[in-house]
Amino acid sequence: MTTEEQIVNAARKVFVRKGLQGAKMQEIADEAGINKALLHYYFRSKDKLFDHIFTEAFQQIIPSLRQSLNEKADIVIFIQFFVPFYLNFIQKNPYLPQFIMHELSQNPERIAGLAHAQNFPFDSLKVLIDKAIKEQQIRFVEPENLIINMLALTIFPFVARPMIEQIIFKGKQEAYENFMQKRADDIIQTILTSLRPI
Amino acid sequence: MTTEEQIVNAARKVFVRKGLQGAKMQEIADEAGINKALLHYYFRSKDKLFDHIFTEAFQQIIPSLRQSLNEKADIVIFIQFFVPFYLNFIQKNPYLPQFIMHELSQNPERIAGLAHAQNFPFDSLKVLIDKAIKEQQIRFVEPENLIINMLALTIFPFVARPMIEQIIFKGKQEAYENFMQKRADDIIQTILTSLRPI
DNA sequence: GTCTATAAGGTGATAGAC
DNA sequence: GTCTATCACCTTATAGAC
């Protein structure tokens, strides 16, 4: 592994966990097993290093769905595929949503510079949803609502984990983990039952 | 308004917006129209000032629902009451959820010290939900799922606003605001339709 | 490329006059 | 109670040796 890769890995770990302000160059250097000066040799400044990490993270969190959308041209099947897929991804990167949303909240203009923001195939999904409505497979919904609801149900439990664990599950970590293990099925059931034609 | 109140108001504004690390004592002093030394005179340290603000914010974000639960002992009516009520509260404090969740993510142990964490009447809600299931008013759901889903659908759009605005609504602020204006009805409809008996 | 040493500026906190 | 001045430390960034 090259030094640059070591730096990026260390920076990713520290930035995602602590944010731009909370992360310290010394901690990143320690994590990478090098000294601070080398960080500046590879990436001129903390801001530039952060930009690198944030851009990478942002592109990751927007799933590339083109393939699955071509193959499975049915919104119900798509939901059944997407929810466990995305849930599984976030399970492996549980701090990523909080990181992205916190930094975007601090500096919303940052998103404008990310060309890949347009990468999410919302328009393709819209077509699928409208088709399912027309065929009376599902009740009428605004496509925007359906997509946002799906994301909310998937992402929120990670971002709000401490509150959920403490207030809903009375501090029992095990209860939270048990809840999350069944989460994909619960989300799918919630969405699909809510979509049943009236 | 006393000096202490001015300080608390300024600190709330700055801390909620920028977090513990992002907030600077100088900025709080400027916001309050005083100097840094006075901050330390009233609150010994930045951490103590932050604790004050965070505790206050945390108690605010856990709605006191006892009254509404006594009067309206029906889970459907409760949902119809709670969603617009809570949505309206967050609309007035749009950065509060992000603030709480980010700081709890940085320091989850902090929640243990907040006795009022037990204030959320989850058990009362559980009774209502179980009763509605038994009477076949709604389909079977785990009470935990229903509560978490309701919170997720309500809170997520605020926390993820920059992403939603850019990716779903193509950067059109107006479209996001229009979406949020109808949000209460959309959430209620999503939840209640998903609860229809099978 | 990698290191040590250090500069330059910011930040929380205190001393002391009024 | 409120201010100015200042300390002590931390943090980013650079200089310069190897």
**B172 shares a domain with B74:** yes
A49: CATH: 1.10.10.60
Task: Tell if B18 CB is < 7 Å from nucleic strand C.
Answer: no
Residues of chain B contacting A169 with CB distance shorter than 8 Å: 144
Q: According to the model, what pLDDT value does residue A71 have?
A: 66
Task: Tell if B26 CB is < 7 Å from nucleic strand C.
Answer: yes
Q: Between chain A and chain B, how many beta carbons pairs sit less than 8 Å apart?
A: 139
**B34 CA vs D14 C1’ separation (Å):** 36
Nucleotide nearest A32, from its CA to each C1': C2
Q: Which domain holds residue B131?
A: 62-195
Task: Give chain B's domain count.
Answer: 2
Dihedral Cα B176, B177, B179, B182, nearest 10 deg: 170
Mean pLDDT of A177-196: 98
Contacting residues 74-103/B vs strand C (CB within 7 A) = none
Instruction: Tell me which of B32, B57, B82 is where a domain ends.
Output: B57
Cα separation, B162 vs B153, in Å, equals: 16
**B154 shares a domain with B80:** yes
Cα separation, A178 vs A187, in Å, equals: 15
**A19 shares a domain with A96:** no
**A78 shares a domain with A43:** no
**B150 shares a domain with B107:** yes
Q: Which tokens belong to B137?
A: 């008013």
pLDDT above 70 for B53: yes
Gap from B2 CA to chain A (nearest CA, Å) = 30
Among candidate residues B24, B86, B80, B38, the one with its CA nearest the CA of residue B60: B86
**A106 shares a domain with A22:** no
Label each residue of A32-52 as H, E or C.
HCCCHHHHHHHCCCHHHHHHH
Mean pLDDT of A10-20: 98
Lowest-pLDDT choice from A182-186, B120-124, B194-198: B120-124
Label residue B159 by pLDDT band (50, 70, 90).
very high
What DSSP string describes A112-128?
Answer: GG-GGGGGS-HHHHHHH
Nucleotide nearest A35, from its CA to each C1': C3
**B136 shares a domain with B48:** no
Residue of A nearest to B14 (CA): A106
Helices (H), chain B: 3-22, 25-32, 36-42, 46-61, 66-71, 75-92, 96-106, 122-134, 143-159, 161-163, 173-181, 183-195
- Would you call B157 and A152 a contact, using CB atoms and an 8 Å cutoff? yes
**B87 shares a domain with B172:** yes
A150: CATH: 1.10.357.10
- Would you call A145 and B106 a contact, using CB atoms and an 8 Å cutoff? no
**B175 shares a domain with B108:** yes
Q: According to the model, what pLDDT value does residue B69 have?
A: 80
> 3-state DSSP call for residue B62?
coil
Contacting residues 108-127/A vs strand C (CB within 7 A) = none
Instruction: Tell me which of A36, A57, A78 is where a domain ends.
Output: A57
**A140 shares a domain with A83:** yes
Residue of B nearest to A189 (CA): B194
pLDDT digits 0-9 by tens, A22-48 = 999 999 999 999 999 999 999 999 999
Q: Which of A14, A21, A156 to mutate to test the interface with B (most CBs of B within 10 A)?
A: A156
Q: According to the model, what pLDDT value does residue B17 have?
A: 98
**B101 shares a domain with B22:** no
Residues of chain A contacting B169 with CB distance shorter than 8 Å: 144
**A161 shares a domain with A138:** yes
